[in-house]
Amino acid sequence: MKKKRVVKRPKSRREFLKYAASGMAGMLIVTLMPKPSWAQRIHQIEEMKHVPDWMDHYYAYVVDTTKCIGCGACVRACKRENNTPDGYFRTWVERYQITDTGHVYIDSPNGGHESFPPKDVEGNVLKGFFVPKLCNHCRNTPCTQVCPVNASYETPQGVVLVDKEICIGCGYCVQACPYDTRYIDPRTHTADKCTWCYHRITKGLAPACVTVCPTKARIFGDLKEKKSEVREIIESQRVMVLKPELNTEPYCFYIGLDRAVR
């Protein structure tokens, strides 16, 4: 005997609306579920141990924008240390000037390499500040996800690197990065980006930009170390990340971010 197939489907508009409402309520509950705080995440990181000892670090970076004076020492140091081509920057400094006429002036002449020349603005500057930018070394990384050849990856220490031997220079990652931190190196035609000076941090040194910062606006450290400065700041101070709405989970934190910063 052939059995008639029973397909359950809403019979009336009333029933359809009921299903739709319950579905939406379910989705809302999922979105409202609490995310782990940064302090909780640090504890989770501490428990992770599946790597050899020399790799047993988990790095984070803090930028204190209230201390930055825009001298450009970090940009110059990065250029020297990593030998980046002219006009391309692994880290750069942006100048923000907000005037009483309501304008927001944002500029970064040559990445802040030669510091900043005074700029004529309309009206008086109400507030101004410098914001150093660099690769945010996200955990939910848009750039590594789009790489078609798996040349870009996250190391177990939380650093995002590019393997130049494998990179084909397609530039997808350059487009995918919401922070504009990647570029195609015109000499090798491969993607390049900030590595938090991987050759330095694996030797126990701080990245070049952190080493030369005269006001200690850039801070770098290991989250697995209980007394590290970054951990203390993230646990006790009011920190923010860039573009949190994109859910990229950056490990580069900012103190004193303004609404105008993009």
Partner 1 sequence: MSKYSHVVSVFILVGLAFLGFEIFQALLKPDSFGQYGNFRGDHLVEASSLSVLHRGDDYCLDCHDAEWDMADAKHANVPCESCHFLPGAHAILADKAPPADKAKAAGSKYVKVAIMPIDRTAQPCLNCHIFLPSRPVKFPQIKDRAKHIKDGWKKTMGEVDIKSTCDRCHNSHFPKAFVKGVT
Question: Strands 183-185 and 59-64, how do they pair?
Answer: unpaired
Note whether 181 and 134 are within 8 A (CB). yes
The two beta strands, 92-99 and 104-107, are: antiparallel
69 binds partner 1 (CB under 8 A): yes
Task: Please state the φ and ψ torsions of residue 191, each to the nearest 5 degrees.
Answer: -70, 145
Angstrom distance (rounded) from CA 90 to CA 78: 7
Rounded to whole angstroms, how far apart are CA atoms 160 and 143?
Answer: 9
Q: Which residue number, 38 or 185, has a Cβ lying nearer to partner 1? A: 185
Q: Which of 63, 135, 174, 206 binds partner 1 (CB under 8 A)?
A: 206
Angle in degrees, CA 139, 167, 251, rounded to 5: 15
Residues 163-202 that bind partner 1 (CB under 8 A): 163, 165-166, 195, 198-200, 202
Least Å distance, CB 108 to partner 1, is: 11
- 61, 89, 129, 251: residue in contact with partner 1 (rule CB under 8 A): 129
Structure tokens at 87: 């006009």
Please select the residue that binds partner 1; options are 60, 62, 63, 73, rule is CB under 8 A.
73
Chosen residue from 42, 58, 70, 231 binding partner 1 by CB under 8 A: 70
Q: Is 203 in the site for partner 1 (CB under 8 A)?
A: yes
In the numeric block, the tokens 């992770």 are attached to 48
Classify residue 154 as exposed, middle or buried by CB count within 10 Å of its CB (0-12, 13-18, 19+). middle
Using the rule CB under 8 A, which residue among 59, 61, 92, 96 binds partner 1?
Answer: 96
Determine, following the binding rule CB under 8 A, whether residue 246 of this chain makes contact with partner 1.
Answer: no
Nearer to partner 1, 43 or 199 (CB): 199
By the 8 A CB rule, do 58 and 38 touch? Answer: no
**In the bound complex, what is the minimum distance in angstroms from residue 69's beta carbon to partner 1?**
5
We find the least distance from the C-beta atom of residue 147 to partner 1, in angstroms, to be: 10
What are the angstrom distances between the C-alpha of 50 and each of 45, 47, 58, 157? 11, 10, 12, 11
Residues within window 37-66 making contact with partner 1, judged by CB under 8 A: 51, 55, 66
Positions touching partner 1 (CB under 8 A) are 51, 55, 66-67, 69-73, 77, 80-81, 95-97, 114-116, 118, 125, 128-130, 150, 153-156, 161, 163, 165-166, 195, 198-200, 202-203, 205-206, 208, 211-216
